[in-house]
Amino acid sequence: MSTKEDILNAAMAVFAEHGFHAGTVRDICDQAGANVAAVNYHFHDKTSLYAEVLQHAYRNAGIGEPMPLLADEPDHPAKQLGAWIAWYVRRLLHSGGTDVGRLMAREMAEPTEALDYLAKGAVQPVFMELGRLVDAACGGSLDERALKLQCVAIVGQCLVFHTGRAMLERLDPPHFGYEDADEIASHITKWALRSFDTSNVDAET
């Protein structure tokens, strides 16, 4: 493995652990077994290194299980939506402690230009696939606005186990961890499908 890759990996760990400003290039280089000047040789400066780290993290985030698509099971949209939710929850809970997840969380709290790229490249396609699945699962009965609300609601229920992890751990000792992924996913799925069954009848309000 080249020194450049070593630095990239070390930088990912350090930036995830301490953030951009608190993470020092000396720490990165020590952890990579390289000299201090290596960062400025291989990458132009610390900022450029950070940008490459984010792209590196984003590329490596997709590996693992492939995302369940509506096109894979066009005749069973509800089942496939459940698979998608399970996949997403597992991904979130798993990436909770990883560098990728922490880098993403940091970017959300303090967006840089790099977030634009991540949004367009990584999040947009995932979100759109969810839109297709929800639309199919409810039989196309939702208009665009309601569809978007449903998607955000599903994502929110999954995301809270990632973004709110620090708080959940401090609120209730038996918090939700990776081992609860399937239980959580089935709960969310059940809730989502139930709401579709009655989403066209607007009796109350």
Partner DNA sequence: TCTGGATCCAAACATACGTTTTAAACATCT
Partner DNA sequence: AGATGTTTAAAACGTATGTTTGGATCCAGA
* Count of CB atoms situated within 10 Å of the CB of 46: 18
| Helices and strands in the chain, H and E counts | 11, 0
Residue 5 binds DNA (CB under 7 A): no
Residue 204 binding partner per list a copy of itself, DNA, none, with a CB distance cut-off of 5 to 8 Å that depends on partner kind: a copy of itself
Which residues touch 60 (CB under 8 Å, ≥6 apart)?
Answer: 100
Q: Does 68 participate in binding DNA (rule CB under 7 A)?
A: no
Interface mask (CB under 8 A) for a copy of itself, residues 58-97, using x and -? ----------------------------------------
- Residues 32 to 51 in contact with DNA, rule: CB under 7 A: 34-42, 45-47
Cα(125)–Cα(131) distance, rounded to whole angstroms? 10
Of residues 164-193, those binding a copy of itself (CB under 8 A) = 164, 166-168, 170-172, 176, 183-184, 186-188, 190-191, 193
How many angstroms separate the CA atoms of 134 and 150, rounded? 8
Nearest residue to 33 (alpha-carbon basis) of 61, 65, 14, 6? 6
Between 37 and 152, whose beta carbon lies closer to a copy of itself?
152
In the complex, minimum distance from the CB of residue 124 to a copy of itself, in angstroms, rounded to a whole number: 6
Using CA atoms, how far residue 146 sits from 2, 22, 70, 143, 160, in Å, is: 50, 42, 19, 5, 21
108 near a copy of itself (CB under 8 A): yes
Q: How many residues bind DNA (CB under 7 A)?
A: 19
- Helices 77-95, 124-137: axis angle to 10 degrees equals 150
Q: Are 142 and 150 in contact (CB under 8 A)?
A: yes
The residue ranges that bind a copy of itself (CB under 8 A) are 19, 21-22, 102, 105-111, 115-116, 119-120, 123-124, 127, 146, 148-149, 152-153, 155-161, 163-164, 166-168, 170-172, 176, 183-184, 186-188, 190-191, 193-195, 198, 204-205
